[in-house]
Structure 1
Amino acid sequence: MEHNTQDNPINIGRRLKTARSLAGITRKDLESKYGISMHTLQSWELGRNPLPEKAASKLVEVLHETGVICSIQWLLNGHGKSPSLVSSDFTLYPTNDKNMAPLLQGENTIQKEIDFFKVNNPNAIVIMVSDDTMEPTYSMGDFVGGSQYIAQPDIERCSGMDCIIETSEGTFFRRLLKRKNGYALVCLNAQTEVEEPVIFSKKILAATPIIWHRWKFNKPESL
């Protein structure tokens, strides 16, 4: 991947912190167990320094070890596989931090809710919100889901709804609006920092109107 395909460091940092929070590991854990400096990690998460591709690759491996699947592409540019738990049997990460056990138990609860939703809803799609485009209704780290529609008449009926939307350019979480010659994918957050708050597309491949929203629990400030 070329460096110029990367997102700006602030957005990369937010995604990195989101993935780390989902894994339930602290900066201190990453330093002591994997040799990743707390100060370097903090500089990446705050967007002070760019995240090198080699470091992103290592972080993806570490995340997988701690029970979270995530792609390098998602970390660096927001595309590709966003973070998700490996399974509902979330293994507690060894730590002396008394706050970690209940937090990781909470992650297990969320995964069980996701599994239940997928079993009980046809064509179910669930993603984790990875940016600020739909704030304040949906925040980074929240989980949203619904039943996916592929037929064009069904997609047109999703106009005006908040949807997980698939186009030839990728997957987006936006409000879907029908236009004369296609669709507009619109942010709810007027202050979003994404480069394209409104995306225009002539064709939508699939739309999943949101019928399920799981708020992410709050983590201690030390995480």
Structure 2
Amino acid sequence: MDFLFNTNVQFFIAAYLVGGIPFGLLLAKKFAGVDVKKSGSGSIGATNVLRVVKEQNPALAKKLGAITLALDAFKGIFILLIATFIFNLSDSTLWGIATLAVIGHCFSPYLGFEGGKGIATGMGVMAFMLPIETAIALVVWVVLAKTIKISSISSLSGVLVLAISSFFIHPQMAHAPVIFICFILFYKHIPNIIRLFNGEEKRV
């Protein structure tokens, strides 16, 4: 058990456990009295919180959706900030932390290893690790969100643009963590992709 005293391992565990906190589920239950796991898409993310709570209180839905988005994005960044500015950990360790924060959100230990789609947490850690690429991805996301108004299309398009742009902006870096995180995000969106092909995906 000596490995548990290793700083890197401790941060990896912390990233997974903090990443797994289901803020959307907790906020919706506390302030709207609804279980987002049993409504809408069943996701614990901001989009489903917005969609489910909107049915009974549109104003509250926007607030809870925004707070969920912010908290889901920040929970990965929080661990990365401590790892970087207090412990001065290596880039490879930071990428491990980023990846495990996303895994924690998507496969939460508090929800029987189920979870959200990972977009907010993924974009949060990417904003810390690859700020330029993330800025480009967010522009794509905003444009598509305003025009197409289908969350899965705008989100996955942003993820794809981020991954591709990273090869041009940082050609020398190891891209395995970026590709792996993007793979997780696409994997969690398989039901959405199927609904898109069937013309059943709902607008937000």
TM-score between the two structures when normalised by the length of structure 1: 0.30
TM-score between the two structures when normalised by the length of structure 2: 0.32
Please tell me whether Structure 1 or Structure 2 has the larger radius of gyration of its CA atoms: 1
